[in-house]
Amino acid sequence: MRCESYRLRFDGRILSDQDIIGLHAMEREVGSFYLTESCYPPRMNIPKHSHQNASLYLILNGSMTERCGNVAREREPSNLVFTPPEELHSNQIRSSGCRLFMIETKARWLASVKEYSCLPDSTSHFNSTLAASLGRRAYNEVCQSDSFRPLLLKR
């Protein structure tokens, strides 16, 4: 099933639109990006799914285990993770719950980036102070509400 409004495709068990809506604390579309802050309750299991768009997400607090095929990776605060479009994965939220900020890129933006640089073919984890700082900075920009923020984010 594809949930068009949330750009998701589930493989097997499906979360309802109502379940998904309840997880989003903030969602905006700015230029070539979808920006979403999601809050997951403790021990929630998100079944196998893929995202239509490439995404970059930052764990703001809490943690989860992300499973891609047979590989399970722990995602902790300040982890920045890139996921290519249509990468099938599942998530198990840990006992502390999890809050994350996700930036999804529309296909036309991703195509323009690929002309000038190389992007990973599979999920990639960036656990550096610089990567976390850049993710946090983008999140803080989105949380500010003034008339110039959309212009800064579109650049």
Pairwise CA distance, residues 8 & 119, whole Å: 21
User: What is the per-residue pLDDT across 44-83, written as a single tens digit (0 to 9) for each?
Assistant: 999 999 998 999 999 999 999 999 989 999 999 988 999 9
| Model confidence, pTM | 0.81
Task: Give SS3 for 113.
Answer: helix
Q: What is the CA radius of gyration of the chain?
A: 15
Q: If you classify domain 2-154 with CATH, what class do you get?
A: mainly beta
- Spans of all domains in the chain: 2-154
Q: Is 9 left (phi over 0), alpha (psi -120 to 50) or beta?
A: beta
Percent of the chain with pLDDT over 70: 81
User: What is the per-residue pLDDT across 73-119, written as a single tens digit (0 to 9) for each?
Assistant: 999 998 899 999 899 999 999 999 999 999 998 877 666 666 667 66
The DSSP output letter for 77 is T
User: In this structure, is the dihedral angle defined by the CA atoms of residues 16, 18, 20 and 22, taken in order, positive or negative?
Assistant: negative
